[in-house]
């Protein structure tokens, strides 16, 4: 997958290829269409938020809009999809 990848906290994330996520049992793989760039995500990317962890590289983020394998659009918040996406709504303004 392509994503904004944090390789070091000294530099901003860069657009790069990253390993595809593997859903655990009972989880679904969500194709992300739009992701929020909130203060939390900025803190993760800079290493100042506790959820940044210590394992590099990683892809920061915790919520957004995506599609399920069956094509349904959803709003998700890590770790699992939470709400169906309203029909006809644009993903970018909502995220």
pLDDT score of 41: 93
Q: Tell me the pLDDT tens digit for each residue of 5-32.
A: 999 999 999 999 999 988 888 888 899 9
Q: Which of these, 30, 35, 37, 32, lies nearest to 12 by C-alpha position?
A: 37
Token couple for 21: 């996520």
Q: How many other C-beta atoms lie within 10 A of the C-beta of residue 2?
A: 9
Give the per-residue pLDDT at 85: 60
> Pick from 36, 39, 40: which is nearest to 93 by CA?
36
- In angstroms, the CA 40 to CA 48 distance is 9
d(CA 69, CA 95): 20
Kindly report, residue by residue over 34-43, the tens digit of the pLDDT.
999 999 999 9
Mean pLDDT taken over the chain: 86
Q: Can you spell out the DSSP letters for 76-90? A: EETTEEEEEPPTT--
pLDDT over 80 at 91, yes or no: no
Q: Tens digit of pLDDT for each residue in 46-81?
A: 999 888 878 899 999 989 999 999 999 999 887 555
């Amino acid at each position: 997958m392509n994503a904004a990848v944090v390789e070091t906290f000294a530099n901003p994330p860069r657009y790069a290829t990253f390993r595809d996520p593997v859903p655990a049992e009972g989880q679904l793989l969500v194709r992300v269409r739009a992701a929020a760039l909130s203060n939390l995500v900025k803190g993760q990317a800079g290493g100042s938020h506790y959820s940044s962890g210590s394992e590099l590289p990683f892809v920061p983020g915790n919520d957004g809009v995506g599609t399920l394998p069956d094509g349904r659009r959803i709003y998700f918040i890590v770790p699992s999809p939470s709400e169906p996406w309203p029909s006809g709504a644009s993903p970018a303004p909502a995220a």
